[in-house]
Amino acid sequence: MIRDITLGQYYPEQSVIHRLDARTKILGTLLYIIELFLVNSFAGFGLVILALGVLIGISKVPVRFIFRGLKAVVFIILLTFLLNLFMFDGTVLWHWKFLTITYEGLYRSCFMALRLILLIIGTSMLTLTTKPMELTDGLEKLLKPFNRFGLPSHEIALMMSIALRFIPTLLEETDKIMKAQQARGADFESGNLIQRVKNMIPILIPLFVGSFRIAQDLALAMEARCYHGGVGRTRMKEIVFSRRDGVAGVLLAVFLGIVIASRWMPLP
């Protein structure tokens, strides 16, 4: 399960999506999230799935690798589905004691579960196709205009990039701790839910200790290299918008118009 988490990982490829400016991909991801919440029908989701499929095909990231990341959030998806399934009144499809499934509840639960799945897959494309350093530079460039209002854009971008960067590191650390505990006879699979939660204590304590150790090592390394924030810092490679970023922006705007128009179409 630990190795199935793809959030924060970068998949190296030489695709058009990988070569886009980080700012284009960040803004595109934000626009994608807005579009998901503008969609009000399954036909609208069909348009999103079609566009997302084209994007994945162009990026050359394996579909199996992308969907593998959903295994870690299956519980959240199922919980969202079940909560919506029993929370709506309407045409009764099934009833047993205090449990009632209605057509409206089934429709809404499928709708919300599909939205959550598309949200996870779409946003994961940002980190899968963008290097951590490029993502940091893009965030800083986008937040730079807010410096005049006292917003520390460089520090915020740095914190976000470090958080994304250390997700795979902490997952690897968790995997090592689990294997070490299993070698000492620990059992994480058997027992009821409460027993499994108790069995996680030997993992959580060393993981927290290791996390603080990694953070301290990073802070010492930054101090040893005389890091003092973003003032006066230069970059070996400056990010610049290109023609393909302009084309991507136009396509994103067109797709946003299509999604907005689909809200007023007689779709299921």
Once rounded to an integer, what is the mean pLDDT over residues 191-197? 70
Query: Confidence class of residue 205 from pLDDT cuts 50, 70 and 90?
Result: confident
Residue 268 pLDDT greater than 60, yes or no: no
pLDDT tens sequence across 112-127: 999 999 998 988 888 8
Residue 266 pLDDT greater than 60, yes or no: no
**DSSP-assigned beta bridge partners for residue 100:** 95
Once rounded to an integer, what is the mean pLDDT over residues 79-94? 82
- How much is the pLDDT for 193? 65
- With 0-12 / 13-18 / 19 or more C-beta atoms within 10 angstroms meaning exposed / middle / buried, residue 130 is buried
> In this structure, is residue 113 part of a structural domain?
yes
Q: Across all residues in the chain, what is the average pLDDT?
A: 82
> In this structure, is residue 208 part of a structural domain?
no
Residue 1 pLDDT greater than 60, yes or no: no
Range of the domain at 24: 2-160+237-262
Once rounded to an integer, what is the mean pLDDT over residues 24-28? 92
pLDDT tens sequence across 27-74: 999 999 998 888 888 888 888 999 999 999 999 988 888 887 777 778
> In this structure, is residue 65 part of a structural domain?
yes
Residue 244 pLDDT greater than 80, yes or no: yes
Query: Confidence class of residue 25 from pLDDT cuts 50, 70 and 90?
Result: very high
Query: Confidence class of residue 26 from pLDDT cuts 50, 70 and 90?
Result: very high
> In this structure, is residue 213 part of a structural domain?
no
Residue 142 pLDDT greater than 90, yes or no: no
> What is the pTM assigned to this prediction?
0.78
> In this structure, is residue 153 part of a structural domain?
yes
pLDDT tens sequence across 144-190: 888 888 888 888 888 877 877 777 778 778 888 888 887 877 776 77
Residue 227 pLDDT greater than 70, yes or no: yes
> In this structure, is residue 210 part of a structural domain?
no
More confident residue, 231 or 62: 62
- How much is the pLDDT for 265? 65
> In this structure, is residue 111 part of a structural domain?
yes
Q: How many domains does the chain have?
A: 1
Residue 248 pLDDT greater than 80, yes or no: yes
DSSP state string for the chain: -GGG--TT-------HHHHS-HHHHHHHHHHHHHHHHH--SHHHHHHHHHHHHHHHHHHT--HHHHHHGGGGGHHHHHHHHHHHHTS--SSEEEEETTEEEEHHHHHHHHHHHHHHHHHHHHHHHHHHSS-HHHHHHHHHHHHGGGGGGT--HHHHHHHHHHHHHHHHHHHHHHHHHHHHHHHTT--SSSS-HHHHHHHTHHHHHHHHHHHHHHHHHHHHHHHHTT---STT---SS-----HHHHHHHHHHHHHHHHHHHHTTS---
Residue 243 pLDDT greater than 80, yes or no: yes
- How much is the pLDDT for 95? 79
> In this structure, is residue 20 part of a structural domain?
yes
